[in-house]
Amino acid sequence: LADRLQNTMAKIRGKGKVSEADVKEMMREVRLALLEADVNFKVVKDFIKRVSERAVGQEVMKSLTPGQQVIKVVKEELTELMGGEQSKIAVSNRPPTVIMMVGLQGAGKTTTTGKLANLLRKKFNRKPLLVAADIYRPAAIKQLQTLGKQLDMPVFSMGDQVSPVEIATKALEHAKNEHHDYVIIDTAGRLHIDENLMEELEQVKSIAKPDEIFLVVDAMTGQDAVNVAKSFNEQLGLTGVVLTKLDGDTRGGAALSIRSVTDTPIKFVGLGEKLDALEAFHPERMASRILGMGDVLTLIEKAQTNVDAEKAKELEQKMRTMSFTFDDFLEQLGQVRNMGPLEDLIGMLPGANKVKGLKNLQVDEKQISHVEAIIKSMTKAEKINPEIMNASRKKRIAKGSGTSVQEINRLLKQFEDMKKMMKQMTSMSKGKKKGMKFP
């Protein structure tokens, strides 16, 4: 998608106002991205409508192309739709604060119970009590006890012959006696929403009077998540959502749907099976993920502030006319550098997180300084016309820049490759621009 979107962006570059046609074209891509990410159809429809209304006719900011301007609106609206950052957990003024975990079987309730307890202790220095109130799933109690042991935290349980309501009642008494400031109740789930389950949860709720009711949802359930969230919310009144298994390769479109259907904030995301794999929910990151663009939006934003749009245009012109020289190369290098450490930048590129091995790819700042030194040691003629570079010139430059002939050869090769690539790019886009002549 990112490529397609960028093509579209490139096409509608250099206009003063965002036109309806611009937006329409971009929205087609955004719509596809959202649907591919499993966002509910109706949510997508409303979203596109709202963004289009807002984007059309906007003045294009000086530093932006109309395409970037539209992306900006898309991002803002997506972030807005998912709510601000709301990873707060209630604090009752009459401790203990009670958190009730609900959700379907296998969503990650028990695991998240452990993760939350871990977070509460580590970050807020709290003393939580874990309560095993899932009496149906075989070994559910044992699972929570195992987590408790790993965390070195107490787990309250009464076996599986006692009703969850009674377990909750006794657990609260116990928590008060033992001065626990948090109680996290791990409840049972079913494979599907059913009446008995809901009734039982309502009973536990009326006894335990939880300050928070967190719905735990598997991010990979996609469309289904919406119905699940809706009925849990209607029956119990949720205070927050935890989206688990975001470490998988799901795009997480469920987040968007859940938020807009239940109007309940997503507070945390689960990023693995380990007990520290729980993070605050970041709407902006989620927006990028849903659009499948890595952090390309952030990249655009960074570029907005650092790369002068006029200069970029000039550069584009040079690429077209093939008068791109080593001086331009150097300038571009400088601009890229202004955007921050190269590692960060590369990490933001679309698809970069998918490229295995990328983590091992250390962008060598030293190497870049070498490139700079080499170019600065070239004469004007050499910069414009690298073909004249012979052995003695290379030796001179190597000496002047404190590098080696080998490095210079490598750079020359890179430069040639880059020019070739530009040539291909420009010949591809040639036919599309109207009223412009190319040399």
Q: Which residues bind Mg ion (CB under 5 A)?
A: 109-110, 140
46 binds, among Mg ion, ligand GDP, none (CB under 5 to 8 A by kind): none
Site for ligand GDP in 270-309 (CB under 6 A): 270-273, 277
Which of these ranges, 21-29, 264-272, 353-361, 365-373, lies near ligand GDP under the rule CB under 6 A?
Answer: 264-272
Tokens of 264: 């309940």
H helices, E strands: number in the chain? 19, 8
Window of 100-108, 149-157, 229-237, 381-389 that interacts with ligand GDP by CB under 6 A: 100-108
Q: Which of residues 350-379 bind ligand GDP (CB under 6 A)?
A: none
Q: Judged by CB under 6 A, which of 245, 259, 320, 394 binds ligand GDP?
A: 245
Neighbouring CB atoms inside 10 A of 64's CB total: 20
The answer to the question of residue 108 lying near ligand GDP (CB under 6 A) is: yes
Residue from the set 66, 103, 128, 210 that interacts with ligand GDP by CB under 6 A: 103
Nearest to Mg ion of 145, 231 (CB atom): 145
Tokens representing 186? Answer: 């791990």
14, 83, 95, 106: which one binds ligand GDP (CB under 6 A): 106
DSSP string for 109-175: HHHHHHHHHHHHHHHH---EEEEEE--SSTTHHHHHHHHHHHHT--EE---SSS-HHHHHHHHHHHH
Q: What DSSP assignment string belongs to 274-316?
A: STT-EEE--HHHHHHHHHT-TTHHHHHHHHHHHS-HHHHHHHH
How far apart (Å, rounded) are the C-alpha atoms in residues 406 and 422? 24
Contact 167, 133 (CB under 8 A): yes
Among the listed ranges 99-107, 192-200, 304-312, 401-409, the one in contact with ligand GDP (CB under 6 A) is: 99-107
The answer to whether 132 and 144 have CB atoms below 8 angstroms apart is yes
Amino acid identity, residue 271? L
Q: For 273, which DSSP code?
A: S
Shortest distance in whole angstroms from residue 274 CB to Mg ion? 17
As a whole number of angstroms, the distance between CA 223 and CA 253 comes to 8
* Span near ligand GDP by CB under 6 A; candidates 67-75, 150-158, 239-247, 350-358: 239-247
Task: Find the largest Cα–Cα distance for the chain.
Answer: 89
Determine whether the annotation assigns residue 398 to a binding site. Answer: no
CB 404 within 8 A of CB 398: yes
Among 110, 221, 257, 264, binds ligand GDP (CB under 6 A): 110
Select from Mg ion, ligand GDP, none the partner in contact with residue 72, using the beta carbon and a kind-dependent cut-off of 5 to 8 Å: none
Quote the least distance from Cβ 196 to ligand GDP, whole Å.
17
Q: Is 189 annotated as a binding residue?
A: yes
The residue number whose beta carbon is nearest to ligand GDP equals: 270
83 forms part of the interface with ligand GDP (CB under 6 A): no
107 near ligand GDP, judged by CB under 6 A: yes
Task: Check the annotation: does 67 bind a ligand.
Answer: no
**Binding string, 145-184, against ligand GDP, x = CB under 6 A?**
----------------------------------------
Take residue 29 and report the two structure tokens written for it.
């891509």
Q: Which does 148 bind (CB under 5 to 8 A by kind): ligand GDP, Mg ion, none?
A: none
334 among the known binding-site residues?
A: no
189 or 222: CB nearest ligand GDP: 189
The neighbouring-strand residues paired with 182 are 97, 128
Residue 106 labelled as part of a binding site = yes
Which of 333, 277, 279, 336 is CA-nearest to residue 306? 336
Tell me if 12 sits within 8 A of 67, measured CB to CB.
yes
22 has binding-site annotation: no
**Is 110 labelled as part of a ligand binding site?**
yes
**Could you tell me the two tokens for 387?**
């073909």
Q: How far apart are CA 170 and CA 175, in angstroms?
A: 9
246 annotated binding-site participant: yes
Cis peptide before 96 (omega within 30 of 0): yes
Nearer to Mg ion, 140 or 219 (CB): 140
Burial class (CB in 10 A: 0-12, 13-18, 19+), 417: exposed
Q: Which of 111, 257, 401, 403 binds ligand GDP (CB under 6 A)?
A: 111
Annotated binding residue 244: yes
DSSP assignment string, 368-409? HHHHHHHHHTS-HHHHH-GGG--HHHHHHHHHHHT--HHHHH
Binding to ligand GDP by CB under 6 A, coded x per residue (else -) over 200-229, reads ----------------x-------------
User: Which residues are known binding-site members?
Assistant: 103-110, 186-190, 244-247
User: Which residues are known binding-site members for GTP?
Assistant: 103-110, 186-190, 244-247
Q: Interface residues with ligand GDP (CB under 6 A)?
A: 103, 105-111, 189, 216, 244-245, 247, 270-273, 277
